[in-house]
Amino acid sequence: MDIKTIYRPRIIDILLQQQLSAVGAVLIEGPKQCGKTTSAEEVCNSRLYMSNPTDLKRNLSLAKLNPGLLLRGKTPRLIDEWQIAPELWDTVRFEIDHRREVGQFIFTGSAVPADRSKIFHSGTGRFAWLKMRTMSLFESGESNGQVSLRELFDGHLDIACTNAYDLKAVAFLACRGGWPAALGLPAKAALLHAANYYDAIVNTDISRVDNVERNPNRVKRLLRSYARNQGSQTPISALVQDMQLVDSETENRKTVASYLNALQQIFVIEDLKAWNPNLRSKTAIRTSDTRYFSDPSLCATALGIGPHDLVLHPETFGFIFETLCIRDLRVYADALDGEVYHYRDKNNLECDAVLHRRNGSFGLIEIKLGGDAAVEHGASTLRMLAAKIDVEKMGKPSFLMVLTAVGDFAYQREDGVLVVPICCLRD
């Protein structure tokens, strides 16, 4: 079957086309199996699969002896798994300088980074970097997309639509994750995808980052501790102490930090930066990053729980749902030329997500499973934070939103706060 007949469009598609019209080469980074190569195949006009077993030895030899031969082909030319021959980076940079044309190459690769010691030039001005994440619910077809963040930023706040997903359905979506290969599979098989991915992280991927052998059981304990503390600003020292409760021989803070750095490099975890707005009064703002997994399925797998467990344990479900929302918001923010942040001050006033665009506009978002009491609490928090912002310097927030797992409708409250089920949201 022709791949184009089954390809599910991704938000990054437009961003890739934009960058190819502006620079000579684009590097797509992100977790393995998130769809990097598939999306690049949609726009390339020739392809080189460096790790193809049939051609691997030849490709590696040419990369050292005559790398220019590997670059011949119609443009944009896809170089997949480029990191196994890092020498190609400088060759492409040189080629771009001499061709003096945009849209020449697309680099994709596994999550294991290239050996930077073999790269002499940064690629500044020749390369653009795109981060690809697992699929948002809108990309996977599980959000109706009736509430557009772009339209909210444009002032269209009069929203009204229905939501078809209940708590059980959202629990499954969180545990399955946004892995393209899991879509359309029977429920049990779809859930196994995340479990198998997790096993690969623990047993091989984390050690392949820098060829440092890491104890799989210790990695599991770290991931479990990280999962228990996700959505918080827990310091590394606290993670170490948590691990020592079941492993008295846990390595020191420095070693655990190296484990976390490795997990970041293979896009398993992605912490959320703190937002630092201009406020009406002087208030100390917490600047620590908030801990999150890149996909909610990894958090659920680290804890050894499934959809049924989440429905029975709302508190656990709450922070895994938060991970799902942060992932989706990050995907949507990329499309809007923005970034997602977290806010917390010394008075413990906290906002789960701030979507801040490069043009200066921003929206404040609280994440709740649902229910009248939770929505009311979220709305109150949003109004309190909005009142503290110095609108003379920053302007007013474009919108205040309580993002929920359940609810029959997306709507605007009398106080102006939007209530939006996650399965109604899009970029």
pLDDT in tens, 244-260: 776 666 567 888 898 99
Q: What is the pLDDT of residue 125?
A: 73
Q: What is the pLDDT of residue 359?
A: 95
Q: What is the pLDDT of residue 248?
A: 60
Q: What is the pLDDT of residue 113?
A: 56
- Mean per-residue pLDDT, 274-303: 85
pLDDT in tens, 53-110: 888 888 888 878 888 888 899 999 999 988 888 888 888 888 888 888 999 999 998 7
Q: Kindly provide the b/e burial profile for residues 105-127, where b requires at least 16 CB atoms within 10 angstroms of the residue's own CB.
A: bbbbbbbbbbeeeeeeeebeebb
Across the chain, mean pLDDT equals 90
- Domains of the chain, earliest start first: 3-131 (3.40.50), 147-190+267-426 (no CATH)
Q: What is the pLDDT of residue 247?
A: 64
The predicted model scores a pTM of 0.93
Q: Distance from CA of residue 251 to its chain's centroid?
A: 28
pLDDT in tens, 225-241: 999 998 998 888 888 88
pLDDT in tens, 145-195: 999 999 999 999 999 999 999 999 999 999 999 999 999 999 999 999 999
Q: Distance from CA of residue 102 to its chain's centroid?
A: 27
Residue 29 to residue 393: CA distance in whole angstroms: 35
Q: For residue 343, which of 335, 354, 328 has the smallest C-alpha distance?
A: 354
